[in-house]
Amino acid sequence: MNETRNREQLAVLRADDERYGAMIANNLAVLDQLLDGDLVYTHSSAIVDTKRQYLDSLRDGRVKYVAADRRDAVVAVYGTIALMHGQTVMQAVIDGTTKQLNNLFQAVWIQREGNWRLLAWASTVIPATR
């Protein structure tokens, strides 16, 4: 049982690595496969996107990811659902403004037809230390 869970945890991490790579490459075809049709993507700005809205923001250039580093990710698998949380440090150009993002995140992945797909994402800004 633990071996299966560990294998699935690694599969979710690999899918997330592929997602980050596709975000940076602006590879919408790969993202389309990795994002579930029911995706709810909550940005650290509190803007909530559907899958279509999120992909459209990348397609039309409103959002361009330059770099991303996922840190301290923890994955728990419950059958066909996986919960992931950790930290992500990203550089993005949003509406023409370069932003450095340092966020905590929670993600929900769902396994459909043998593939892990991102179902929900929510991130929040880590305040700068004083």
**Is it the case that residue 130 has pLDDT exceeding 60?**
no
Per-residue pLDDT, averaged over 114-128, amounts to 96
- Would you place residue 129 in the very low, low, confident or very high pLDDT band (cuts 50, 70, 90)? confident
Whether residue 49 contacts residue 121, with contact meaning beta carbons closer than 8 Å, is answered with no
Query: Which residues, 6 or more positions from 58, have their beta carbon under 8 angstroms from its beta carbon?
Result: 23, 26, 28, 31, 64
Quote the pLDDT of residue 128: 83
pTM score: 0.93
- pLDDT per residue over 49-69, tens digit each? 999 999 999 999 999 999 999
- pLDDT per residue over 59-116, tens digit each? 999 999 999 999 999 999 999 999 999 999 999 999 999 999 999 999 999 999 999 9
3 state DSSP class of 51? helix
> What's the CA gap between 44 and 121, in Å, rounded?
10
